[in-house]
Amino acid sequence: MEVVSFVCSPEEAKDWSAIKRIIEKQTGKTYEYIRWKKRSIDARSRQIKINATFECSNTPLPDRIRTFTFHKVHHSPEVHIIGAGPAGLFAALKALMRGLKPVVFERGKDVKARRRDLARIAREQIINEESNYCFGEGGAGTYSDGKLYTRSKKRGEVDLVLELLVYFGADEDILVEAHPHIGTNKLPKIIENIRNFIIEQGGEIHFESKLTGITRTDNKISHLEINHGEQTPIKQVILATGHSARDIFYLLHQTGIKVLAKPFALGVRVEHTQALIDQMQYHGRLNDEYLAPASYSLVEQIDGRGVYSFCMCPGGIIAPCATSNGEVVTNGWSPSKRNNPYSNSGIVVSIDPTDFENPEDPFVCLTFQQEVEKLCHDATGNNQKVPAQRLLDFVEGRKSKDFPRSSYTPGIESVRLDEVLPPLVAKRLQKAFQAFDKKMPGFLTNDAVVHAPESRTSSPVLIPRDKERMHHVEIINLYPCAEGAGYAGGIVSAAIDGMKCVEASSKR
Ligand SMILES: Cc1cc2nc3c(=O)[nH]c(=O)nc-3n(C[C@H](O)[C@H](O)[C@H](O)COP(=O)(O)OP(=O)(O)OC[C@H]3O[C@@H](n4cnc5c(N)ncnc54)[C@H](O)[C@@H]3O)c2cc1C
């Protein structure tokens, strides 16, 4: 098999006869079997280019994904996993690879039942506090955007997660694209396939089963209490409850298990039209069938703090992601085709425990996060409606008289966000938007709308663990895992951390 790389135009990249011609010219050979290996867009100059890499052969090409070995584990030693998000589910898959029986407890419902609770948020503005955009089968990853990029440099680990996703039904394109993406419409089926497989192999997944208590004996956990009743004896527990399970942070603290305040980020979600972002990023090329909807990534240092774009969703929708009534939270998703007319992104300011009077308090950042979510809720006083402002109005401190259409279905209300958001956030955001406009002229426009708050970027609490053995620094059979524990950011890194925790626990 030969690997051939070249740079071509977006039109050529969609034309197989052009691709074959270029490969023939470059190698001096003809090939019967040709397939994409890697693809990325380079839109830095007016002449937009595609970086293309192909695998070419005259014998059939090998499978794209490796062969996985999973064991039947009906009678194997158990590993308990709390939370069925990406970390919990991939931990369960790793347990099957290691010959361990995963027993998963998940507070929320399965993906299908969960969908009804999401519809209710839009329709009745009521949050089911156990089943919402963050809680339920697949965790925050199920109705997420499904972008699969990660800052992890460990290619082997990333490839393993992507190949497992393909094994359970994701499109093989995720192995090719430089910025792979699945989309909210396709994620639930993949999650369902993973669940059915875990059960077929002999694992257990219990829905509507919330961890409510922990029995600790010296440096070990002996029992877990589920739904305030059943006491389950355990040997090892992977705690993969995500960054929104505030009750878990308090439960650990009350049980005398060490948790610490952790820096996180908070801000707003800004929505432009996709056409405007395409125009800015693709140098005026509009509605271009040869180019994917454009995205952006922006970062600035403002008054000693990073302000940056987070979870940018081209062709996306802003979602109501609160986990409690009386609070509002925004985040974004997009379907696989990214074909909505909107483009949204979190724009967030780094927050540090030292921003507050009592940085030693493990809950100092969490309390701040929750207060902002409540303030934004109370600013409209209407369940899941969020306070909003046109972007230029926000920067210039003016209330907006009206709005263009917003994708946020529970609704928006005109509020001066600089009067609702704490100054350490609002002032930096105002300056950052001005700086972003210099990098992307046209970004700072009154045709864009700012929605508040974007507050669940990462965990505001850290559950400290031993660096090498990965268990809690004091409790040797507790494995704080992924985003909730402060050790991951996003679907892929959470999945990697879930697998690593099982790997570490199986060594004990
Ligand atoms: C709308 C949206 C869009 C997103 N888009 C992207 C994206 O495009 N790309 C990306 O990489 N990331 C995205 N994210 C973030 C991503 O979903 C998270 O990084 C990832 O899901 C974290 O995985 P996790 O397994 O650590 O935690 P989670 O996914 O949060 O899962 C934790 C699970 O634990 C369960 N749980 C909590 N407490 C308990 C308890 N007491 N007992 C039992 N179970 C419990 C929860 O119900 C939940 O199912 C998005 C998030 C949202 C909300």
Q: What would the pLDDT profile of 334-347 be if each residue is shown by its tens digit? A: 999 999 999 999 99
Domain check: are 171 and 222 in the same one? yes
Q: Round the average pLDDT of the chain to a whole number and report it.
A: 96
Q: How far apart are CA 313 and CA 277, in angstroms?
A: 11
Does ligand 1 have an atom closer than 6 angstroms to the CB of 127?
no
Query: Residue 312 falls within a domain, yes or no?
Result: yes
Atom of ligand 1 nearest to the CA of 313: 8
Span 350-363, average pLDDT? 97
What residue type is assigned to position 92 of the chain? A
Domain check: are 444 and 491 in the same one? no
C-alpha 139 to ligand 1 mean position (Å): 4
Alpha carbon nearest to ligand 1 atom 2, residue: 144
Checking if the pLDDT of 153 tops 80, the result is no
Per-residue pLDDT of 155-207, as tens digits, reads 889 999 999 999 999 999 999 999 999 999 999 999 999 999 999 999 999 99
> Judging by beta carbons within 10 Å of its beta carbon (0-12, 13-18, 19+), is residue 392 exposed, middle or buried?
middle
Atom of ligand 1 nearest to the CA of 139: 49
Q: How far apart are CA 309 and CA 453, in angstroms?
A: 14
Does ligand 1 have an atom closer than 6 angstroms to the CB of 181?
no
pLDDT of 342 reads 97
C-alpha 315 to ligand 1 mean position (Å): 22
pLDDT of 22 reads 98
Per-residue pLDDT of 100-120, as tens digits, reads 999 999 999 999 999 999 999
Task: Classify strands 478-480 and 237-239 as parallel, antiparallel or unpaired.
Answer: parallel
Domain check: are 244 and 308 in the same one? no
C-alpha 140 to ligand 1 mean position (Å): 3
Domain check: are 135 and 183 in the same one? yes
Alpha carbon nearest to ligand 1 atom 33, residue: 83
Does ligand 1 have an atom closer than 6 angstroms to the CB of 241?
yes
Query: Residue 63 falls within a domain, yes or no?
Result: no
Tokens of 137: 């089968």
Per-residue pLDDT of 475-507, as tens digits, reads 999 999 999 999 988 999 999 999 999 999 998
pLDDT of 503 reads 97
Checking if the pLDDT of 16 tops 80, the result is yes
Per-residue pLDDT of 389-418, as tens digits, reads 999 999 999 999 999 999 999 999 999 999
The single residue listed with the structure tokens 């005259």 is 58
Does ligand 1 have an atom closer than 6 angstroms to the CB of 238?
no
Alpha carbon nearest to ligand 1 atom 10, residue: 490
Span 261-268, average pLDDT? 98
pLDDT of 382 reads 76
pTM of the model: 0.97
Does ligand 1 have an atom closer than 6 angstroms to the CB of 92?
no
Alpha carbon nearest to ligand 1 atom 13, residue: 490
Checking if the pLDDT of 508 tops 80, the result is no
215 confidence band (pLDDT: 50, 70, 90): very high
Residues spanned by the domain of 408: 261-454
Domain check: are 450 and 423 in the same one? yes
Q: How far is CA 430 from CA 303, 416, 422, in A?
A: 12, 12, 12
Does ligand 1 have an atom closer than 6 angstroms to the CB of 311?
yes
C-alpha 242 to ligand 1 mean position (Å): 5
Beta strand segments in 394-458, E? 412-414, 449-454
- CATH number for the domain spanning 38: value is 3.30.1660
Query: Residue 69 falls within a domain, yes or no?
Result: no
Span 311-318, average pLDDT? 97
Domain check: are 248 and 266 in the same one? no
Q: How far apart are CA 178 and CA 170, in angstroms?
A: 16
Atom of ligand 1 nearest to the CA of 108: 47
Is residue 259 within 8 Å of 248, Cβ to Cβ? Answer: no
Domain check: are 51 and 84 in the same one? no
Total of domains in the chain = 3
C-alpha 273 to ligand 1 mean position (Å): 27
Does ligand 1 have an atom closer than 6 angstroms to the CB of 493?
no
C-alpha 82 to ligand 1 mean position (Å): 12
Domain check: are 177 and 301 in the same one? no
